[in-house]
Structure 1
Amino acid sequence: MSSLEGGSLTVQCRYSPVWETHVKWWCRGASWAGCQFVVKTTESEKEVKKDRVSIRDNRKNRTITVTMEKLRLNDADTYWCGIEKFGADLGVQVKVTIDPAPVSLEETSGSPAVTSPGSSSGSVFLEASIILPLISAVLILLLMVASLVVWRMVKQQKKGASAPGGRYLLYKLEPAAG
């Protein structure tokens, strides 16, 4: 699963009917045995929230829903969606990646300033959606100019080839005797 820095991420984990009444949890850490619990359910349908993470157990649909909000780059890690049971718990691994938020430049009093992606102050994003079409247009223009040059060269060669013998005829002009 992946999301942008500052955004949110929702993970849904399904389980079989046998586990409906069991406590559900979300923990963090690459190792199953050593992961740290982030949040656990207390009862069905009740959302439990801890800091920027919430968990909800929908027993009708048999779905655990975990939401992580206001994501930070250091939230990227291995997480586990699990069910508490007698003996070893059940769980499934979820890899979470967080991509940096795009940065925009805004002109304020003649000096550039960095603004957040959600800003509505008319900032200009230097994204691929602007740069790629511009580069494509320049390349197409260069291709058209190159094609025109090649076309003219071929046309001149054909013109020269149409003379008798396929070569240019040279005439020597001498003064008339008199």
Structure 2
Amino acid sequence: MRLLVLIWGCLVLPGYEALEGPKEISRFEGDTVSLRCTYREELRDHRKYWCRKGGLLFPRCSGTIYAGKEGQETTEGRVSIHDNRQELSLIVTLWNLTLQDAGKYWCGVEKRGPDESLLISLFVFPGSSRPPKQLDSTSAEDASPALSSGSSKPRVSIPMVRILAPVLVLLSLLSAAGLIAFSSHLLLWRKEARQDMETQRNEKVYLSHLAPSFHAS
């Protein structure tokens, strides 16, 4: 009977989806996956189940697990199923995934006539293909001393920086004061040199005026 119900559910009303949820899920070997299939209000009091799709020519359910009544959680092996009627959702959890768990599954709801069902494909990849985890901030801080110890550059501790900071500021002020004094001295020297040049020019002019009068006498 369940075979005919599933075939009918796959053929009729293809645009009508009484169940909604993920169509594909990908995890690694050893992971835990939890999925949610939501259903319509009119299916609240109907019996829900989870099963694996079997059969080649004619689809059928295998390893069917039914949700408990009154929201009770049902667990069989590494699979648990819970019907949350307040949220209109069927929650399925699979622990410690294996490569053999990969396949297609149904979230199903029994009702008069064909059952409502949602087909979900589960992909399980080998644990060896899992990408390496990135270090979090705590691990990075713990690893930083070990990484820096092998570096040839010396590290300056924070107290030393605090000691050197006022000295650097004082040196900067002294350098600025010296630069200002040098600039002032340079301006004064240029002013005195200009005055000497003007004095020499005036003397030459004065002597040039005295020369004709000297020859006339």
Q: Quickly name the TM-score band, shorter chain normalised.
A: 0.5 to 0.7
Does residue 71 of structure 2 align to residue 75 of structure 1?
no
Larger strand share, 1 or 2: 1
Q: Give the match's secondary structure for 1:35.
A: strand
Return the letter of the residue paired with 1:28.
R
Return the letter of the residue paired with 1:21.
D
Match of residue 99, structure 1, among 125, 142, 149: 125
Aligned-residue Cα RMSD (Å) equals: 2.4
Q: How many Å apart are 1:53 and its aligned residue? A: 0.4
Return the letter of the residue paired with 1:39.
I
Match of residue 8, structure 1, among 17, 23, 32: 32
Unaligned runs of 5+ in 1: 104-116, 118-125, 131-178
Match of residue 62, structure 2, among 32, 36, 47: 36
Return the letter of the residue paired with 2:72.
K
Larger Rg: 2
Q: How many Å apart are 1:102 and its aligned residue? A: 2.8
- Higher RCO, 1 vs 2 (CA within 8 Å, ≥6 residues apart): 2
Number of equivalenced pairs: 109
Larger helix share, 1 or 2: 2
CA distance in 2, matches of 1:128, 1:60: 37
Return the letter of the residue paired with 2:31.
G
8 Å CA contact 2:68–2:82 kept in 1: the answer is no
Unaligned runs of 5+ in 2: 1-24, 136-217
CA distance in 2, matches of 1:102, 1:21: 43
8 Å CA contact 1:41–1:47 kept in 2: the answer is yes
Q: How many Å apart are 1:3 and its aligned residue? A: 1.1
Q: How many Å apart are 1:80 and its aligned residue? A: 0.5
8 Å CA contact 1:25–1:37 kept in 2: the answer is no
Q: 1:22 matched to which residue of 2?
A: 46
Q: How many Å apart are 1:4 and its aligned residue? A: 1.2
Q: Give the match's secondary structure for 1:102.
A: helix
Return the letter of the residue paired with 2:118.
V
Q: How many Å apart are 1:15 and its aligned residue? A: 0.4
CA distance in 1, matches of 2:117, 2:124: 22
Give identity over the alignment, percent.
31
Q: Give the match's secondary structure for 1:61.
A: coil
8 Å CA contact 1:38–1:50 kept in 2: the answer is no
CA distance in 1, matches of 2:133, 2:85: 43
Does residue 60 of structure 2 align to residue 60 of structure 1?
no
Return the letter of the residue paired with 2:91.
T
Q: How many Å apart are 1:129 and its aligned residue? A: 6.6
TM-score computed with the length of structure 1 as normaliser: 0.55
Cα distance per residue 1:125-165 (max 9 Å; x no partner):
x84979xxxxxxxxxxxxxxxxxxxxxxxxxxxxxxxxxxx
Closer, same or farther in 2 for the Cα pair 1:3/1:60, shift >3 Å?
same
CA distance in 2, matches of 1:33, 1:88: 14
CA distance in 1, matches of 2:82, 2:103: 21
